[in-house]
A and B are shown apart, each in its own frame.
Chain A
Amino acid sequence: MGYPHPSHPRETPVLSRYFGDPGARTLDGWRQRGGYDALQQALATDPQELQTIVKDSGLRGRGGAGFPTGMKWSFMKPDGKTHYLCCNADESEPGTFKDREIMRWTPHGLVEGVALAAHAIYAETAYIYIRGEFTEPYAYVTRAVEDAYAAGILGANAMGSGRRVDVHVHRGAGAYICGEETALMNSLEGRRGNPRIKPPFPAVAGLFGKPTTINNVETLTTVPYIIKNGADWYKQFGRPDNPKSIGTKLFSVCGNISRPGNYEVALGFPMGEFLNELCGGPLPGREIKAVIPGGSSVPILTREEAEAAIMDYEGMVAAGTMLGSGGVIVFDDRQDMVRQIARLTRFYAHESCAQCSQCREGTAWTTRIMERIRDGEGTAEDLDTLLAIAENMSGKTICVLSDSCATPVVSGLRKFRHEFEARIAANRSMVTVTGASRAPAA
């Protein structure tokens, strides 16, 4: 539902059905709402079959990359090795705050999904890695795990199945990069959160060097519903003409919008209606100018582009952007795009783990140039320099944080170039001699 607002009739609340209902937080409350039935059923089912059901359902990862979940699970074979499941609850992508609400309102829903997935990938141990700042979700999830152990749902004989399922909650300590899957594994191992060079991929050598599956909170919380109701039930959600994007998805909406919050809709929802009906449109007397539709790492859309976009993986690509994490950031006509893009690049400069020179230097140079343009000290060459740096930052590093910093700059320059140029034109210190202007000081 549109938490903290009442559910809108056009939402499809599956995961968000109990947002705002404190009764769903407790073990008894969760069981009264049908909780842990799916886990019971799954523990009596062969992991191979669970993998097949999830593959058939069409579920794709909700952490940002949209990788098919069943396929990811199928890399995990009954090879007799120790396997691990990691739940990625690091949620730090600006604009995204859906996993927070899942953990705050339905912590047992997450624990159930984690335990189920652990069994499905032949793992006995799962870790839920929660970002350090999420103290309240951490408390609820920790309590849920403790209560599940006390009730025999977790442990050496999970729900009387004869199978061991251990779930541990691990608290991060402040670092966006720990949401990257291999950085998360390093952090869990007690290291600095530097992403690892791939291959080897986690399914081969992940946490503690063992085959590991990592999934997002929303992905894992969805799985019990699929096991309980079947793959065909899940396939009803989505546009009939796009079998590649199936299911409901939580979208977090923030920035300059009348009703910010989390909205759960079937994939394929028209974004114009989403913004203007469900979220109440712009603030009174304002107009929407730009939208970043999938967390801060995806290309910016103009209002016209956003209103014409379809909210699923392919629809967003067709609109020139990505679905990402589903964090929708709205900018209205008061906002200075140069200032806000500069603020985003500063975020990436702050969060770069500094292993790769293109990223460490590129995020810092980009920020310096963006801020001098913001401050009216930019030159015409700065725009070319920004694009050249962006080119050098894309596709060349260990992880995609570097690309993510370049993205708002490149898309912002393409769509709001006039705002950059107006800032530069206002730079009175600039010497305008043809063929000889100030060299970039980056």
Chain B
Amino acid sequence: MSHGPSASGGAIVAAPPTDAHHDVPYEPVFVGTARAELDTILSRYPTKQAALLPALWMIQDARGWISPAAMEEVASVLAITPAYVKGVVSFYTMYHQHPVGRHFIQVCTTTPCNVCGAEDVVKAFLEHTGCADLGLTSADGRFTVIEVECLGACGFATPVMINNAFVDAVTPDAVPRIVSELA
């Protein structure tokens, strides 16, 4: 279960949903090729509900986060309730219930990485991205930095996940270059 962005107990600050623009109509995700892709996924399982995690990934890949309106769309496509969808979304740490920076940076600080200096890597990312704190997006909208629990790459300390890509063996010295290469 996710209890916030900071594994070491820092501030937990999240932006309120920005999906409440009733004047902007919601554009559905599951139309055209995306609908066909979902149908292929559905054919792999004996229940519709089993396609929920894959469908949520499709939403997040398309929109960057999973808004309440998107949860309603998934619910109607899979014949489940929006409340059920929200219950599932909120269980898993990787689904964003709020917009995040263009580059979502996750630094592992669990014990095996921690003993290799992972907390200094976190500090370097906060400093060089201009993010005021863990979980907060930088003013230019480029970055959000969080601490994450074991990424399953402990021999490559400190691994950092930037959106879908892994960067292995990051040291504080390497952080300015990594950040400058992210548009």
Contacts and interface: CB of A to CB of B under 8 A. Distances in A.
Contact of A133 (B50, B88, B154, B161): B161
A261 B109 CA distance: 18
A373 interface: no
A274 to B, nearest CB: 15
Interface stretch (A30-38, A42-50, A189-197, A382-390): A189-197
Contact of A131 (B1, B8, B57, B152): B152
Given A93-B150, A97-B153, A133-B161, A174 B94 contact: yes
Given A189-B50, A350-B3, A350-B149, A343 B114 contact: yes
A347 B112 CA distance: 12
A252 B2 CA distance: 27
Interface in B137-173: 148-157, 161, 164-166
Contacts of B152: 91-92, 96-97, 99-100, 131, 133-134
B78 to A, nearest CB: 8
Interface stretch (A56-64, A165-173, A220-228, A391-399): A165-173
A253 B46 CA distance: 40
B95 interface: yes
B149 A253 contact: no
A186 to B, nearest CB: 10
Interface string B86-99: 01100111110000
B59 to A, nearest CB: 12
Nearest to B164: A135
A93 B78 CA distance: 32
Given A97-B152, A253-B155, A190 B49 contact: yes
A351 B157 contact: no
B33 interface: no
Interface magnitude class on chain A: 35 or more
Interface string B55-85: 0110000000000000000000010100000
A290 B21 CA distance: 55
Nearest to B89: A173
A379 interface: no
Given A173-B95, A260-B154, 13 more contacts: A4-B156, A95-B154, A168-B44, A172-B92, A173-B94, A189-B50, A208-B47, A254-B116, A255-B111, A255-B112, A256-B115, A350-B7, A353-B1
14 contacts: A92-B150, A94-B149, A96-B154, A135-B164, A173-B53, A174-B2, A174-B95, A192-B87, A193-B91, A255-B116, A256-B116, A346-B8, A347-B7, A347-B150
